Amino acid sequence: MSRREPSTDGQWLWGFHSVEETLRGKPQSAKELLVAEGTKGVEGLVDLARKAGVRVRFVDRRQLERTVGDSRHQGVALRAALHEGESLAGLLERFPADSRKGLVIVALDQIQDPHNLGAIARSALNLGAQALILPERRSAPVTAAVVSASAGAIQKLPVVDVVNLGQALAKLKEEGFWVYGADAGGKPAWGAVFHTPVVLGIGSEGYGMRPLTASLCDEVVSIPQPASGVESLNASCAASVLLYEVARQVRKGS
């Protein structure tokens, strides 16, 4: 079994947002809901689970903590198959050519920190992106930590696994997508025009985009920073800023 394939037994997710978004967005993936006795405000989660045919068990709080291995569970945990990867062909079928105006996709070039992946997914969903593209190698897989960091957002976004990111970007360009990449040496984003459908490429935490990825971009953009700043923005922060600018231009042009 590859690391991208969901385990038949699933993984434990914890926290209200992660559990709720999974039950709403991917109820078929859920296996079992554990609720710590005495936890308030869980009625909605229990109803969602039972409607989806998911087993619900009320347990001692210490048992719940031992099961999930994390004390930040907020009194709930859900065992679920986390990742059901979609193919690039499937994504293009999901969004036919005549429906791609304003479409935004985020392509991640070797993002390896699960918290960054989760934070990017959260920003992507909240700022109007409709999918994430992840290379199968040298990228963080979708795990419980990623779901938690995304506050469940990654459960509501199609996640496309690709063997070769360069080939995927080339295919998307053939399909009429514009590809923009984030790099400190690029054109200031405030002066760029983001045409849609758009793919926004975000590079790894330490090294940014690989040269091949950058070479496939129609334009490379940067986030202007004062000389008094410290280093560059974290990958997830940079993604949020650029996604906001893309969303602003998409809304202005709609």
Helical (H) or strand (E) element with 186: strand 178-188
Confidence of residue 7 (pLDDT cuts 50, 70, 90): very low
Helical (H) or strand (E) element with 244: helix 235-253
Three-state DSSP class for residue 169: helix
Predicted confidence at residue 208, as pLDDT, reads: 83
Predicted confidence at residue 232, as pLDDT, reads: 66
Decide: 17 and 75 in contact? Cβ < 8 Å: no
Q: What percent of the chain has pLDDT over 70?
A: 93
| Domains of the chain as residue ranges with CATH | 11-80 (3.30.1330.30), 88-253 (3.40.1280.10)
Confidence of residue 227 (pLDDT cuts 50, 70, 90): low
Decide: 23 and 48 in contact? Cβ < 8 Å: yes
pLDDT tens-place string over residues 106-128: 999 989 999 999 999 999 999 99
Query: Can you give the three-state secondary structure of 85-99, one letter per residue?
Result: CECHHHHHHHCCHHH
Cα 22 from Cα 30, distance rounded (Å): 7
Of 29, 201, 182, the C-alpha closest to 107 is 201
Confidence of residue 58 (pLDDT cuts 50, 70, 90): very high
Three-state DSSP class for residue 42: coil
Cα 4 from Cα 246, distance rounded (Å): 29
- What's the whole-model pTM score? 0.86
Predicted confidence at residue 3, as pLDDT, reads: 44
Decide: 160 and 85 in contact? Cβ < 8 Å: yes
pLDDT at 253 over 90: no
Of 100, 91, 111, the C-alpha closest to 239 is 111
